[in-house]
C-alpha cells in the first residue's frame, strides 16, 4: 500500500527528507505550502516505478514557521495525504 512517512528531522533547519513508498507505478506530485495555502515549491511531478523514495527539501531562503507538504499518487483511485512540518531557524 501507499506509505508517506513524516518528514525528518522535524523540526528542521534548513533541510528535511520526505520518504514514501509506492506499491505500483504512479504519477507522483509532492507540493509544499505555507500556512496561507500558497504553494511555494513542487518537489516531484513525474511518473515513478513501484519502490521506496526519499526527497530532500532545502528551505534555506524561507522564514521559520509551519509548512505543509501534500503527496498525491495519481492512479486509478488517487491517493493523497497532507502532513505538517516545522522550520526553525
pLDDT average, residue stretch 33-49: 97
Residue 1, pLDDT > 90, answer no
> pTM (2 decimals)?
0.94
Q: Mean pLDDT score of the chain, rounded to an integer?
A: 96
Residue 76, pLDDT > 90, answer no
d(CA 55, CA 7): 10
Sign for the pseudo-dihedral over CA of 66, 45, 80, 39 = positive
Question: Which range, of 7-11, 26-30, 70-74, 75-79, averages the lowest pLDDT?
Answer: 75-79
Amino acid at each position: 500500500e501507499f506509505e508517506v512517512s513524516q518528514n525528518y528531522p522535524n523540526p528542521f533547519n534548513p533541510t528535511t527528507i520526505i520518504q514514501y513508498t509506492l506499491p505500483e507505478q504512479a504519477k507522483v506530485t509532492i507540493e509544499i505550502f505555507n500556512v496561507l495555502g500558497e504553494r511555494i515549491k513542487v518537489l516531484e511531478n513525474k511518473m515513478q516505478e513501484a519502490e521506496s523514495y526519499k526527497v530532500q527539501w532545502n528551505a534555506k531562503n524561507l522564514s521559520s514557521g509551519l509548512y505543509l507538504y501534500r503527496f498525491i499518487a495519481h492512479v486509478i483511485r488517487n491517493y493523497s495525504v497532507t502532513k505538517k512540518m516545522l522550520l526553525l531557524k
